[in-house]
Amino acid sequence: MKVTDQLDRLARGRWATPLVVAVAIAFLAVNEIGYRRALSGIQDGDEIYSQRTEVRRLQLLLQSAEAGQRGYLLTGQREYREPFDQAQNQLESQISRIRTMFADDADSGTQKDVREIEDLARRKLSELRTTVDLFESRNVDGALELVKTGIGRDHMRALDALVGRLVAQEDVKLAYARRDLLNTLLVNRAGIAALVLIGLLLLALTVRQSRSLDAARDEQRAQLQHERDRLEHEVERRTRELTELARHLQSVREDERGRLARELHDELGGLLTAAKLDVARVKSRLKGAPPEIFERIGHLSSSLDAGIALKRRIIEDLQPSSLTNLGLTAALEVLCREFSKRLDVKVDSAFDEVVLADDVRLTAYRVVQEGLTNVAKYARATQVSVRLVDDASMAALSIQDNGAGFDTARVPQIARGLAGMRFRVVSHGGRFDVTSRPGAGTTIEVRLPQIAARADAHALTAT
């Protein structure tokens, strides 16, 4: 108990505040000194890397010039000479940059190596220039003989050796700079650690009186965080359950559509076809019958044809066979063409080939189908644009009309269909946006993820 009282008196002493201020000032001073020394070391390292880069650039410039010279000698075509011409234009400026960067280097050996590198670079370019001049003066044999002497090779070998030695010297300097930087960081680390320990001690003495209150606040905060985490986990769990349920219902809906489409095709299709055949048989046996009989039979045959066409359209709406047999692009083209023909509305469509999973592909088709249905019911549009664009890993789908539009903030009845489309798109990891304004038409923009097989498909196409 006596130790606790002493600590309390120490925390309330008159010198406690000046001591805290002094520790803070010392901390800032040590940190600033360490920062400046570390910054100096980093700048030295950057300068060394820059010097090495410029020397390597000079070396690559000469190699590029030599390659251009050889290509020009072999082909005689001017475009092969371009690297050589560029080297002629850039050599002196590159040498000037290297000389400037090494101007402050106190090492006499380094300065000597830099001068030799400059001399060898000029001699190498002079040899290349002489060879090109001989070649262009139609002294091809002289140019080739000059190449065969190996002077250029010797120059490049000597240059490579000097560059290697210079880089090795720079590596040594870099190692010293790195060592100084590490020592600075260690000293700074030790000083900061000591000051932090002192600061922690003073902090412990200063905050002891409020420890109970802080503990209560921390406990309350922990309880709130725990409750928040529990609620977030519960929301995520319920969201996952609802999402899975909605997906299941969507799957059941599509399965039911498929079953109904099959029954319509098998049962109703068979009945209509049989009726059409019976009408044909009856017509063939009514020779000599009154004209009104044949008129009635013709009308009946037309009605049966219309029923068969309606049956096919209903089946196609329930389960688009074109999507399964021809793919998404062809199915969308058929959908847009039939919509334009049925409603006499101009549809401007363009579709890229995209690679989507089966359920995502069906979602894309349903979005276009539902969008066109909304246009037919509510938009009173005269022109519709449908686009499917291959956008890297995503497929960008858009449906735009010039119809009546609506106020998106007032949530009209058609928003139910939009909500269904939005859910289907979001459930696949996509994005669904609707832009509309009364009198300005409506735009639906959808982004759906493509599958990894897209890369494989492109690779197979390339091969």
CA distances from 443 to 342, 382, 435 (A): 22, 14, 5
pLDDT of 387 higher than 80: yes
**Domain assignment present for 36:** yes
Which of 185, 209, 233 corresponds to the end of one domain? 209
Going by their DSSP bridges, the two strands 346-351 and 383-391 should be labelled as parallel
**Domain assignment present for 102:** yes
**Domain assignment present for 293:** no
pLDDT digits (tens, 9 = 90+) for 212-227: 667 878 888 888 898 9
Taking the whole predicted model, whether its pTM rises above 0.95 is answered as no
**Domain assignment present for 230:** no
Rounded to the nearest angstrom, the gap between the alpha carbon of residue 93 and the centroid of all alpha carbons in its chain is 39
353 and 205 within one domain: no
Q: What is the CATH number of the domain that holds 370?
A: 3.30.565.10
Average pLDDT, whole number, for the chain? 76
- Structural tokens at position 174: 């870099």
**pLDDT at residue number 258:** 64
pLDDT digits (tens, 9 = 90+) for 223-279: 889 898 888 888 888 877 766 766 666 666 666 666 676 666 666 666 767 777 777
Secondary structure (DSSP) of 321-332:
HHHHHH-HHHHH
**Domain assignment present for 340:** yes
**Domain assignment present for 256:** no
**pLDDT at residue number 398:** 92
Least trusted range by pLDDT, from 344-353, 410-419, 431-440: 410-419
Burial of 235 (0-12, 13-18, 19+ CB in 10 A): exposed
336 and 189 within one domain: no
**Domain assignment present for 226:** no
**Domain assignment present for 367:** yes
pLDDT of 324 higher than 60: yes
pLDDT band at 1 (very low <50, low <70, confident <90, very high): very low
338 and 198 within one domain: no
The residue range of the domain holding 356 is 326-462
pLDDT cut 90: percent of the chain above it: 5
pLDDT band at 8 (very low <50, low <70, confident <90, very high): low
pLDDT of 3 higher than 60: no
pLDDT digits (tens, 9 = 90+) for 395-432: 899 999 988 888 877 755 445 677 778 888 888 888 99
Dist. CA 317–CA 435, nearest whole Å: 26
pLDDT higher for 43 or 56?
56
State the alpha helices, DSSP H only, in 211-290: 211-263, 269-284
- Structural tokens at position 262: 């099959």
**pLDDT at residue number 460:** 43
pLDDT digits (tens, 9 = 90+) for 52-74: 787 788 778 877 877 877 787 77
pLDDT digits (tens, 9 = 90+) for 143-198: 777 777 777 777 777 777 777 777 777 777 777 777 777 777 777 777 777 767 77
196 and 335 within one domain: no
Which of 161, 188, 209 corresponds to the end of one domain? 209
For the chain, what is the domain count? Answer: 2
pLDDT of 446 higher than 90: yes
**pLDDT at residue number 386:** 93
